[in-house]
Every structure is written in C-alpha cells, then in structure tokens.
Amino acid sequence: MFKSTKEFTKEYKKMFENLYAFTYDQGTNEQQYIALGTLIKNKLSKNWQATREQYLNDKVKQVYYFSMEFLPGRQLKSNSYNMGILPMIEAGVKELGLDFEELIEAEADQALGNGGLGRLASCFMDSLASLGIPGNGNGIRYQYGLFRQKFVDGYQVELPEYWLRNQNVWETRNDQSSYIVRFGGNAWLEMDHQGHWIPKYENTLNVLAVPYDTPMVGYRTNKINNLRLWSAEIPVEEEENYHTVQETEPIKEITQVLYPDDSNYEGRLLRLKQEYFMVSAGVQSIVKQFRKYNLPRKHFPEKIAMHINDTHPSLVVPELMRILIDEEHLSWEQAWEITVKTCSYTNHTVLREALERWPIDMMQSLLPRIYMIIEEINRRFVEESLPLYGEKITWQTAILQDGMVNMAHLAIIGSHSVNGVAQLHTEILMNDVLKDFFTIYPEKFNNKTNGITQRRWIHLANPALTQLIDEKIGEEWKRNPAELKLLKSFEHDEETLNELGKIKYQNKVKLVKYIEEVQGLKINPNAIFDVQIKRLHAYKRQHLNALHILDRYLRIKDNPSIDLQPRVFIFGAKAAPSYQYAKQIIKLINAIANLVNNDPDIGDKLKVVFFENYGVSLAEKIIPAAEVSEQISLAGKEASGTSNMKLMANGAMTLATLDGANIEIKDYVGEDNIFIFGLSSREVAELEKNHMYHSKDLYDSNERLNRVLNALVDGTIPNAPQEGGAVFDALVHYNDEYFVLKDFDDYIRAQDQIDLIYSDKKEWNRKSLLNIAASAPFSADYTIKRYTEEIWKAKPQCSGDEGVHPLNE
C-alpha cells in the first residue's frame, strides 16, 4: 500500500505514463480516472489472491449469490474508503493539481440492474466483504446497462447506456475459467457399459461463458470477495463455423442488454437464455471449485450455499441436478438431497404478474435436458404431495401448470429456505400468495428484512453528517451500527440539533446548485425538500403525490397569500420501456412541473423537480438533502423498499403507508416520529375481496378530490391532455386499482401535519435526529449476518478492523 502521499503521487504519475505514454496533466478526466482506478485495483491484487487461496486451503464454506441484477454504482471512492486510503488519495490528487470530484464523475455508474433488487444485491456484496464472509456474486456482464433516461418534451426517451465505453478498470477477464453453455438441439439419455445413464446432445448451440471478476472490497478488512459477471462469446474451436458478423449475433446478444424487450416472443426467449446462461456458467464454475476441495460429494452443502435472488436464477435447481446426475453420476435421490440443502431463495414481490412463468414449449425447445429434469422434479413432487395434501393444494403448487413452468414453485421446492424481505411481506407470502407452500413446508419460511450499507449511504454520501455523528458518539458506530442509538441522548441538546439543521441546509444548498446546473431551475433552499425516488409503478403511486401537488397548486391559486410552508417536490424514476401507463405518469408530472414552476403566482411556495436518469450516483446527491421521504405505495404491495431506509438514515422524515419495511421503521422510530396515513393491508385485502370499492363514488362525492381530478382533464395542465386523461380514466372510470382516491384525504391530512411540524425547526430537527438514531437495524450488515447464520451457515473469516487493514500491512 502507499506509505505516504508522496509515494502515491509518484506511483500515480508512473501508472499514467505507462498507460498513455504522456504526462497525466495532459490527459482527460477519463484518462486520469482510469490511471487512478487501475493503480488502486492493482493494490488489491495481493489480498484478492490471498483471500482466494485461503478459502481454498481452509476449504471454507462459500456463499454464491445468483442475481440477474447488480447495481454497484461508482466504485473509486467506495473502494478507496473501504481500503482506508481515501484521505491519502484525496490529498495526493489535490497535490497533483487534479480535481478529485471530476475524477469521480468520470467513472461510469455501473447500472446492471433496475432498482431495489439490484441495489440490494450490491449492498449485500459490500456487507459480505466487510464482515469477512466468503460470499461471491454471480451475474451477467451486460454490455448495455439499464437505459439512459432522457426527457424530451416531458416524455421518457430511452437511450442505450454503453457503460463500458471507457473500459471498466475494476474487472479482470479470466479466460481460464470459461465454460460452455448449451442451448437447443436434442437431448436424450443412453446407458453406458457401467450402467450409467449418459446424456447425449445433438445440434446444440454452444456458447462460451467468459467470466469477468471484480474485487469486492470490505471495510477495513483484508478479505476480498469476488463478483463474477459472465459474458457470452463464440467458443474458440467453433469460430470457423461462423462466416459473417450477422451469424454471431445470436450469441453476442445473450449478454448485450439488461431486460430485453419482453413485449414479444423473441425478447422473452432471449431473457430465458440469459437466465440459463448465467446459471449454467455459475453452477459449473462452483462445482469445479468444490472439486478442488477434494471432498466426498455429499459434503457439497457443507461447503457451498447457492442463493437464488428472486425467481430469475431458479434454474440453479435443475442445473445443479443435471451436473450432479449427468457429470458426477449421483443417483436422483443423492443429487436432490444435495440440491435442496444447497439452495435458498428470496422472494421480492407479491405482485402476481411479476412471478415468472415460462411456456413449457419454450423451455423444452431451448433447454431440452433441463426441461426433462424439471418434469421429473415436478412428477416426484406431485406424487409425494397428492396423498398428503390432496388435489387442490397439489395442483396449485405444482411446477408445471397450464402449459407453463412456474419458476417460483421450482425455487421453493428446490430450496431449503424461502424468505421474504420485510415482516409484512413475509406474512403475506405465508398467509396469502404462497399459502399452500407454507402448509407443505412451514419450516422453510423465514423473514429477512432488507438493509442498506451505511458506508455508501451515510459515510460517503453525507460526510458532514458522518463527522457530526463521530463527534457526538465516537466512531464505533461505523463498525457497529447499533451504536447509532446513542445519538438519542442528544434529542434535547440544542447545539446538536442546530448543527444537524445546518448540515441538512448545507446539503440542500449543494443540491440546489446542482438543480440549477442541470435544469436551470432556481430553488429556495429553505423550502421543505420532499423526495420520491424509486422505479415508476402504479402501485408505488407517484400519481398520488402528483394529485397532492395539484391540490397545493390550486390552493395557492385560490389564495396567493396562503400560509403554506414552501415545498420542493423531487422525483427520480425510470419507467420500464413497455409500461405505457408509467410513462404517462412521468409525462404528467413533468407537465405539472412545467405549469407550477413557471407560474408567477406560485413563486417559491411550490416547485417540482423531476430528475432525468435516476440511479445510484444521483441518489447519492439527493438523499443527504431530503427532508420528507415519500413511501406511499398501496399497503400490501411493496415488498420492502430500501430508499425508505437510506432516507431515514440521512434524517428525512418518512411519510408512509403501513407497507413493506415502513412498518418496521415506524416500530423503531416510534409513531410520533413518522407520518403514517392510508389503508392498512388488511383493509385493502377486504376491499379487494368484497369488491366494495367504487372510486367513481368518491369522485362524485368528494369536492376537493373532484376538483383536483378535473384539473387533469379540463386544460389546467397544458401539454398533457392525453396523459391527464389516461390517469383520470384509470382512477375514475376503471375503479382505481391501487386505491389512490381512497387514500387521498388522509394523505393530504398527513402532508398538512408535515407543514405544521416543520414550522417548529427545533422539533423537526429533534425528530430528524431520532430517525438517524433509529436507523441502525436497517444496516445490511445485520441483514447479512442473519442470512449467514440462519440460512447459509457460513463462517466469517475475520471480524473486521483487527489490524489486518491493508494500510497496516
């Protein structure tokens, strides 16, 4: 490691010249960043190799987290921070006359995921490494990450995000660990001389899976884990069979884009190909790793845990069966016992439309051998279940249903653990969505409430707050987040509260500058910063937020001298490209923003900012400045949410329905320090069941609501008549699937209460402090400890910060 700033600057100059053959001061920010990233990455190699060797020598149990999505964000700062060299790098870069912030911004934000699910996977990688738990990620190296969102006349336009343009300094291509993945053709079994059934294949499409490994650096530990992302290529020995670039397309496209368009058959087929590609390459490499342990195969589950993150990697189950039976020649029973003991599954949604199902004929023709195995798993499951649970439960839980393969059922049957991601979500799984499975396998079900890494979301994103916490309670909270609760003793300390208020204000000023830079919009930093940042989906109800904004707008128009706390509503959200209604809501909010922000009657009282291209790096700018955290999904629909945790940890007050992890937030912070409104999940279920809800009646009878809804269609909002009409129709004429109108009044009440409390700054700051103090339970470190102890049964290889810090070497 660098012994001094001087040594760092010397090595940096050398690295730059080695890479580019000219001096660093003539380079672009990108080149300067690449040299810095490469230098830091090289420093990791020794510990990365040592960790790999130690895991192998000690035959430690390793966890493999299979996920179609990882959203690590930028890594320069977080890696330097975790290595304990950030201050030295900052000082060195300054000494070189470079701007560290510019170098940070030059790194592409690696967006290989959609939202919460992918970001959770990356938080988990950070926690695994920081806790010294042997945990590896397994995913896809998409060439194009989630699309870059632009607004053109308020409409979302999707542009390709070629994040690899400037190369990725953190990855290492490991050709020696490549594997062949087979698709299509025919598969059958033949008996060999020793009586083994041997699979035979013909006419398959063979794809080479090449791994790109990225070091996962833990906070103050010298253990470095691995994130392995697979890329699809033509097998070298088959290159001569491909005569034109076009012929190579079916292979290359497998890892080209995240979420290929699933509105058509080809798009869906490609998605299934991606899933099997990642799973097969991953499982093959894990089995090879286990072989190096040189242990009897029955010890497999004692040394390997494979986690299925959402249903997308469910094919882990039949793929492991395939390898154990076809290549390791185990009996079905032996292979099944190993598979179930090895696999575990997390469910992330209760929305039935998001639970994956694939047509049997698609699965059969794309993956003939895998389908044979799925059929047999299903046959045995049905055979066992029928006499015990009867026809109804058996058919409802079967893997093969109505010509489809149900991937959640495959994952549940093939795993020893099934968990939800917040208490309420797990209860809904057990009592409703997966009720029959809970009857069959009660012992498999458990809850693991999500978490976030304080390292990225407080230490790095909010250094001023971090410093304040350090000053008040010492630094121990950084390793042991439970210490954060010590902050509570400052709730009546005026000086602390003032400092906290000042920090929030300064963070707001920073965001105000950024907004002016990117949108040319002037914002009053004294206004309440009210934030809703998450994927756009009708159940998350960004349109409820929009109705409240309209209501405020109309109130100010009626009475321009009305005494309302100035508010800035901040949105960040991408809509799935084929989700028309979500895109219409984006356009509508942009049109409302346009109306409100340009109306001279409104002035500072109300502003609306919709950021383009929401992602990890933008979240890092918004969250420290947030004061109100909008978590307003219809109760029972959001599995957990994680922006709620990040915002709370930065002192924002949560405005929430009793949904997902909001309930646990309320329990920890106390109901006086959160704004709860709306229907409970039980009330929603009742209304849904009894068909007792008629949104049109509310429209007709509630004057205030009537006026706001009419504003969507009466020309009040110029430039979005169609979108206003679409939202109006969904809410009034199509019976408002997500009960927006039903929750409207109570939402307005809660919003008014926020204004009231905000007018007492001391009280607001006190509540803000209590939120930070109560955020510790949402540390991903705790979540990962629970996964490790209760599901994966892996052992930490170090306890962190024990003199093994790279700097101390």
Whether 642 sits among the annotated catalytic residues: the reply is yes
Identity of residue 221: T
Q: How far is the CB of 466 from ligand RUG (least distance, A)?
A: 25
Stretch that binds ligand RUG, among 216-224, 287-295, 542-550, 633-641 (CB under 6 A): 633-641
Establish if 349 lies at the interface with ligand RUG (CB under 6 A). Answer: yes
Establish if 615 lies at the interface with ligand RUG (CB under 6 A). Answer: no
CA neighbours closer than 13 Å in the CB half-sphere of residue 113: 24
Number of residues binding to ligand RUG, judged by CB under 6 A: 16
Identity of residue 290: F
Please report, as residue ranges, which positions from 301 to 320 form the binding site for ligand RUG (by CB under 6 A): 310
Establish if 117 lies at the interface with ligand RUG (CB under 6 A). Answer: yes
Stretch that binds ligand RUG, among 110-118, 377-385, 562-570, 672-680 (CB under 6 A): 110-118
Establish if 639 lies at the interface with ligand RUG (CB under 6 A). Answer: yes
Establish if 62 lies at the interface with ligand RUG (CB under 6 A). Answer: no
Secondary structure (3-state) at 413: helix
Options 148, 540, 543, 567, the catalytic residue? 540
Q: How far is the CB of 537 from ligand RUG (least distance, A)?
A: 8
At residue 457, what are phi and psi to the nearest 5 degrees? -90, -15
Of 136 and 631, the one with the shorter C-beta distance to ligand RUG is 631
Establish if 143 lies at the interface with ligand RUG (CB under 6 A). Answer: no
Establish if 354 lies at the interface with ligand RUG (CB under 6 A). Answer: yes
At residue 173, what are phi and psi to the nearest 5 degrees? -80, 130
Pick from 755, 738, 752: nearest CA to 679 = 738
Distances (CA, A) of 219 to 93, 283, 480, 758, 807: 22, 28, 12, 37, 12
Q: Which residue has the closest beta carbon to ligand RUG?
A: 116
Please report, as residue ranges, which positions from 419 to 448 form the binding site for ligand RUG (by CB under 6 A): 421
Establish if 68 lies at the interface with ligand RUG (CB under 6 A). Answer: no
Pick from 533, 454, 467, 455: nearest CA to 503 = 467
Of 624 and 641, the one with the shorter C-beta distance to ligand RUG is 641
Options 409, 534, 548, 766, the catalytic residue? 534
Identity of residue 440: I
Tokens 């001279």 map to which residue?
600
Options 348, 409, 425, 485, the catalytic residue? 348
Cα(29)–Cα(98) distance, integer angstroms:
9
Options 5, 466, 642, 654, the catalytic residue? 642
Cα(708)–Cα(161) distance, integer angstroms:
38
Distances (CA, A) of 606 to 98, 501, 543: 39, 21, 17
Q: How far is the CB of 72 from ligand RUG (least distance, A)?
A: 15
Establish if 638 lies at the interface with ligand RUG (CB under 6 A). Answer: yes
Instruction: Give DSSP secondary structure letters for 417-451.
Output: EEEESSHHHHHHIIIIITHHHHHH-GGGEEE----
| Tokens describing residue 192 | 């060999």
Chosen residue from 318, 451, 566, 641 binding ligand RUG by CB under 6 A: 641
Cα(8)–Cα(28) distance, integer angstroms:
20
Do residues 209 and 231 make contact, with C-beta atoms less than 8 angstroms apart?
yes
Q: How far is the CB of 361 from ligand RUG (least distance, A)?
A: 24
Establish if 412 lies at the interface with ligand RUG (CB under 6 A). Answer: no
Whether 540 sits among the annotated catalytic residues: the reply is yes
Options 552, 646, 666, 766, the catalytic residue? 646
376 burial class (0-12, 13-18, 19+ CB within 10 angstroms)? middle
Establish if 113 lies at the interface with ligand RUG (CB under 6 A). Answer: no
Instruction: Give DSSP secondary structure letters for 585-611.
Output: HHHHHHHHHHHHHT-TTTGGGEEEEEE
Of 303 and 348, the one with the shorter C-beta distance to ligand RUG is 348
Establish if 642 lies at the interface with ligand RUG (CB under 6 A). Answer: yes
Options 223, 303, 508, 535, the catalytic residue? 535
Establish if 664 lies at the interface with ligand RUG (CB under 6 A). Answer: no
Establish if 660 lies at the interface with ligand RUG (CB under 6 A). Answer: yes
Provide the annotated active-site residues. Answer: 348, 534-535, 540, 642, 646
**Binding residues for ligand RUG, per CB under 6 A?**
115-117, 120, 310, 348-349, 354, 421, 450, 638-642, 660
